Amino acid sequence: MTRSQLIAQIRQKRSFLCVGLDTDVALLPECVRHLSNPVVAFNKQIIDATHDLCVAYKPNTAFYESRGVAGWQDLVQTWQSIPENCLSIADAKRGDIGNTSTRYAQAFFEEKSSGMSFDAITVAPYMGSDSVKPFLAFKDKWTIVLALTSNEGSADFQHHGPENSPLFEQVIQKVQTWASPEQLMFVVGATRGEAFTAIRKIAPQHFLLVPGVGAQGGSLADVCRFGITSDCGLLVNASRSIIYASNGADFAERAREEALRMQQEMAVELNKINF
């Protein structure tokens, strides 16, 4: 999915919602646990219930890889279930160098070898350009670089550096010299709302993938107040608050209700900028 296609989907659906498919076997509703492939069945029902309300899906690959071959097969089938008009993001947070990064990219981008061809992947930039550029080498794919995260430990490194140039700002300044806003995004946690002002001065055009709204307590209003652009420029992710809105037989219906609530809030924010 190109940038223009993504923007078109946001305009059409009045939404910049990304649904995180962090599907934990231990949290599956009882009504799907007896099925031969409960994770895939659960994910498909979530997707069927929400695909008209969101523009992206983001499986966190750890929930699949931790279960070995069966989990990897579930990830492949989950990717196959994501509609073409929704951006598919492998939340893998890979970060190595040279040929290793190329192999990681192939694992998630090349359907011929792995069975999957995600539109995007999250990448850790700590090892520098030779850990990020192998992902950028894949045509028509997005690389989403971790910049400012919402976890407590982010303060250990990301905010260090000169007062007017903490590490996360240096990362954004450097990485955006490697690719254009057509194939590069940044992860910025919603619980750091005030930081969006500084980030938008550095990266005014890049899309930002924003976790932390919903169960983690981030404010959609704050994210939009400081981070939205004339092209929207945001993908706001919600995982647990949507997929675990209910642990009963109505889980898909309740997931839709929560996704609809967020979509309606997003439509209001888009109207504010005449998008």
Question: What amino acid is encoded at 152 in this protein?
Answer: E
Interatomic CA distance for residues 219 and 207, integer angstroms: 18
Main-chain dihedrals φ then ψ at residue 30, nearest 5 degrees = -60, -30
Strand partners, 193: none
Spell 14-32 as b/e; 16+ CB within 10 A means b: bbbbbbbbbbeeeebbebb
Q: Which of 13, 44, 58, 93 is catalytic?
A: 93
Interatomic CA distance for residues 7 and 15, integer angstroms: 10
Interatomic CA distance for residues 46 and 254, integer angstroms: 10
93 is catalytic: yes
Main-chain dihedrals φ then ψ at residue 162, nearest 5 degrees = -55, 150
Interatomic CA distance for residues 3 and 220, integer angstroms: 22
Interatomic CA distance for residues 259 and 23, integer angstroms: 16
Interatomic CA distance for residues 208 and 189, integer angstroms: 9
For 56, the 3-state DSSP assignment is strand
Catalytic site residues? 93
